[in-house]
Structure 1
Amino acid sequence: MLLTLSYSAPNATDLGYLLHKHPDRHQSFSLSVGRAHVFYPQADDDRCTAALMLEVDAIDLVRSKRLKASDAFSLGHYVNDRPYASSSMLAVAIGQVFRTAMTGRCDARPELAATPLALEVELTSVPVRGGDDLVRRLFAPLGWSVEVTPTPLDASFPAWGDSPYSTVRLAGELLLGAALRQIYVLLPVLDDTKHYWVSDDEVGKLLRAGEGWLAVHPERELITRRYLAHQRSMVVDATARLVESGDDVAVETPEVNTAAPLYQLRAEAVMTALKDVGARRVADVGCGEGALLRRLLVDPVFTQITGSDVAARELAKAEEALNLRELSDRQRERIRLIQSSATYHDPRLRDQDAIVLMEVVEHLEPERLPALVGSIFGDAKPGAVIVTTPNADYNPLYPALPAGRFRHPDHRFEWTRAEFADWAATVGATHGYVVEHRTIGEVDAAAGSPTQLALFRRI
């Protein structure tokens, strides 16, 4: 099994820093599925290619009690494609060999780890159960251009047709960590089988690897079902948690086609606003599983990061997603996670350059908004506050959203642009902030943008 990953740019050998594998060395790793080798066929200043090759012993695979043999007849345990097909075993190797790279962490090149890179990926002998179009349906919505080359059964006898295997080539500009997590999830999905028994912890693996992209993927149900080996209880659990954590996931597929998913544009807009106000000490209130915290952590500009949430379960997920236990002491000193409510005064939120309320206010009952305003603007008094919330004017452009319904079942209200502007103006005048409004997402001439942002600067 072979995976190659290429990066083209000046100083392309920095790919070695991101993968935590030196370009001048051949490295081998003993895994539960065999032996993995990492080497670099090309390592030039303008292009660098890393290769992951997995060698599987078919006999050990059969004898191992940890691994599942799905063939019904005894000889089939020994004569099968498992050692050669790039599927769940290669995904396991990716998850173990490139574990740190998948988290998006790189102390040596943090800016590069947080920057979309021009990547090319080639996967050989990929079993595709569902046709070549399935590969495009899975990868294209994530920003990849996709090329699929079927492998003939026998090149000497073209009339025999193609085998179930293909070479898959992907190209796109993505964060390296996100690219690896997508491949990790989608390889066994293409094969629609796993070589090991699927236990309850697979749901957690799927949610961690799918953070930031799976909740809004148009093939989310198929991916979840196949990744979890059609185990109904797990599929139901994973789907419910995806919907719970992925705000607007049910409807953010408007007729107007945006260049990037709205959740990504939203996070980028918040990061831009933080840079515009020169923030270094930032609190993400209502941080959830840490989607914004991950971006803050890899950017050295932010020297003190606080993530707060009322739910202990969400903070536990954020701790795991951020891989806090494996961070260096210097990195751990930059970030803290606290259990707190946005509606209560909390001295730990004071002395911040900026506080972020990203898709938070609409989850509160309207009568509790004054408590939030008093806590954030009156007590914490940061130098800046960034608030994002859905724009109700835009809702009619979502064909899947019935008239009069909110984008998410947990939303208590959704403001029009005029209502948000009135609220922001009152808050700013009362507490000494000037307000700037910004759009997020593609702007419709009549309805505005899907998400609206208010940037409050303290006078």
Structure 2
Amino acid sequence: MFLSITTTQHPATNLGYLLHKHPDKVQTFSTAGGKAHVFFPEATDERCTAVLLLDIDPVELVRNLKVPGESRMLQHYVNDRPYVASSFTSSAISSVYASALNGRCEDKPEWLGIPLALEAKIPALKVKGGMGLLERIFQPLGYTLQAERLPLDEQFPEWGESSYFSIILQHNISLQQLLQHLYVLLPVFDSERHFYISSNDIEVLLKKGETWLKDHPERDFIVRRYLNNISLAKMALARFIDDEGNEATGVEAEPINLEVEEERLTLHQQRLNAALEVLKTSGAKSVLDLGCGEGRLLKMLLREGQFTRILGADVSFHILQVATRRLYLKDMTPKQKERIELIQSALTYRDRRMVGFDAAALIEVIEHLDLERLPALERAVFEFARPATVVVTTPNREYNAHYAMPEDKFRHGDHRFEWTRQEFAEWVQKLSEQFGYTATIEGIGEEDPNLGAASQMAVFKRSVE
């Protein structure tokens, strides 16, 4: 992955002074995930370009994450981390370009803060929100944006386009402003960021965004995605509001609307409680948590002595490391460790490690799959793994009107679909007939007489064979 910054501000070679990097040298630095190289492919008074090239080592990433050998899969080593702008790029900016990011330049202090004709190129950035999201993020900051969606494979155009974009940003701003924007915004697009978020990151975000974030129309979205934690996001957003509830400029501010997110948290706990109750009453002793995420249901299962074998599976090895930390697996006694195992696995493929369990739970999982991939999950769970009890929860799309959401929007940016109660019931009936289960459906959360409940849960019971 590389990030290039070009200026045509005469004398353009002053870019080297601002970055504290000599145009005639190739410099290498240790950074998160591997090495960072800085070089200048062109350096004249008319045009100067500095390239930050990240050499990410997937093998070293796996070692740092301490993934157990038996849980390592191809995806641990073959992924987009070496090629795509991500949180690793943000970390490299903060370490390799620290002086420029913080507005320091001893040799050319008169160039600090002055607008320069700058162009930044990022050849690959994953953007699930498409061109619209890129425009909403960068155009309010004054950038001229050029973006090209990349194909999945140039040799197979019938496969369609990917979610990756090659982008060029142009603006007349100071170098420090450009780096601050990139430092904050690149992790916003990265759902697989490599670092953990704490309350200290609120100060970092506010410091780097103090001159531009407050007035950005997507401020709340940026804060939530950067911090990736609703409680921390609420704390950060509150910092923009004075004691009278007005913006620091004195203009009356719109109220911070985190009610939907807070309700989701409460609703999610209701889902987990409902699923746990079903699993307990089923008499199951071994349970699969499919799409286990950070391990909230796993933690609840561990508290119940009834469950003697627990397997958590997720496609993201990063999130499994978060679960490992939150469950304190490394601190468990040997007897406790015998009860639980975490594995990296794609739920759309048959996995023998999932066979032989009494029950399985898919809590808010199916809506994250493309509809054309859903049949593969159905077969993997109901035909091959085939537990006696399966609990599935998913949002009720009709209830979105309760949140005053547009009809074409989903509750989460990663949702590929959301079903009405009728659509969910038809899917449940189809699976029951196809794989030999009986099923019941109930609502979870507050129920509206017209819209139904916020979430819907199906409990599948395998017919006697």
Q: Match for residue 242 of structure 1? A: 240
* Residue aligned with 2:196, SS: coil
Aligned-partner Cα distance in 2 for 1:77–1:37 = 24
Q: Match for residue 89 of structure 2? A: 90
Aligned-partner Cα distance in 2 for 1:92–1:13 = 25
* Residue aligned with 1:12, SS: coil
* Residue aligned with 1:225, SS: helix
Q: State the TM-score, normalizing by the size of structure 1.
A: 0.52
Aligned-partner Cα distance in 2 for 1:170–1:140 = 10
Structure-to-structure mapping, 1:191-206, within 5 angstroms: 191-206=190-205
Aligned-partner Cα distance in 2 for 1:16–1:207 = 27
Aligned-partner Cα distance in 1 for 2:251–2:179 = 25
1:16/1:23 contact within 8 Å kept: yes
1:237 CA displacement:
1.0
Aligned-partner Cα distance in 2 for 1:15–1:51 = 11
Task: Map Cα deviations across residues 172-201 of structure 1 (whole Å, 9 max, x no partner).
Answer: 101110110101111111224412222222
Task: Map Cα deviations across residues 259-313 of structure 1 (whole Å, 9 max, x no partner).
Answer: xxxxxxxxxxxxxxxxxxxxxxxxxxxxxxxxxxxxxxxxxxxxxxxxxxxxxxx
Aligned-partner Cα distance in 2 for 1:73–1:251 = 53
Q: Structure 1 26/225 Cα, relative in aligned 2: closer, same or farther at 3 Å?
A: same
Aligned-partner Cα distance in 1 for 2:104–2:156 = 48
Structure-to-structure mapping, 1:350-429, within 5 angstroms: none
Instruction: Confirm or deny that 1:7 pairs with 2:11.
Output: no
Q: Structure 1 113/128 Cα, relative in aligned 2: closer, same or farther at 3 Å?
A: same
Aligned-partner Cα distance in 1 for 2:41–2:126 = 25
Aligned-partner Cα distance in 1 for 2:52–2:224 = 27
Instruction: Confirm or deny that 1:52 pairs with 2:52.
Output: yes
1:2/1:53 contact within 8 Å kept: yes
Kindly provide the amino acid, as one letter, of the partner of residue 174 in structure 1. Answer: I
Q: Match for residue 108 of structure 1? A: 107
Task: Map Cα deviations across residues 339-361 of structure 1 (whole Å, 9 max, x no partner).
Answer: xxxxxxxxxxxxxxxxxxxxxxx
1:216/1:252 contact within 8 Å kept: no
2:32/2:88 contact within 8 Å kept: no
Aligned-partner Cα distance in 2 for 1:42–1:51 = 10
Aligned-partner Cα distance in 2 for 1:167–1:251 = 38
Aligned-partner Cα distance in 2 for 1:22–1:2 = 18
Aligned-partner Cα distance in 1 for 2:73–2:206 = 36
Aligned-partner Cα distance in 1 for 2:73–2:48 = 44
Structure-to-structure mapping, 1:434-449, within 5 angstroms: none
Kindly provide the amino acid, as one letter, of the partner of residue 243 in structure 1. Answer: I
Q: Structure 1 40/103 Cα, relative in aligned 2: closer, same or farther at 3 Å?
A: same
Q: Match for residue 134 of structure 1? A: 133
Task: Map Cα deviations across residues 67-114 of structure 1 (whole Å, 9 max, x no partner).
Answer: x99xx9744322321222111111110111011101122122122112
1:252 CA displacement:
8.6
Q: How many residues align?
A: 249
Aligned-partner Cα distance in 2 for 1:252–1:44 = 47
Aligned-partner Cα distance in 2 for 1:119–1:109 = 17
Q: Match for residue 292 of structure 2? A: none
Q: Match for residue 288 of structure 2? A: none
1:134/1:190 contact within 8 Å kept: no
User: Which 10-residue stretch deviates more, 158-167 or 36-45?
Assistant: 158-167
Q: Structure 1 226/151 Cα, relative in aligned 2: closer, same or farther at 3 Å?
A: same
Q: Match for residue 227 of structure 1? A: 226
Kindly provide the amino acid, as one letter, of the partner of residue 240 in structure 1. Answer: A
Q: Structure 1 249/86 Cα, relative in aligned 2: closer, same or farther at 3 Å?
A: farther
Aligned-partner Cα distance in 2 for 1:203–1:74 = 35
1:37/1:54 contact within 8 Å kept: yes
* Residue aligned with 2:93, SS: helix
Aligned-partner Cα distance in 2 for 1:64–1:163 = 29
Q: Structure 1 199/157 Cα, relative in aligned 2: closer, same or farther at 3 Å?
A: same
Q: CA RMSD in A?
A: 2.3
Q: Match for residue 167 of structure 1? A: 166
Q: Structure 1 15/225 Cα, relative in aligned 2: closer, same or farther at 3 Å?
A: same
* Residue aligned with 1:104, SS: coil
1:135/1:190 contact within 8 Å kept: no
Q: State the TM-score, normalizing by the size of structure 2.
A: 0.51
1:243/1:249 contact within 8 Å kept: no
1:33/1:89 contact within 8 Å kept: yes
Q: Structure 1 121/78 Cα, relative in aligned 2: closer, same or farther at 3 Å?
A: same
- Structure 2 stretches lacking a partner, 5+ long: 255-465
1:202 CA displacement:
1.6
2:121/2:169 contact within 8 Å kept: yes
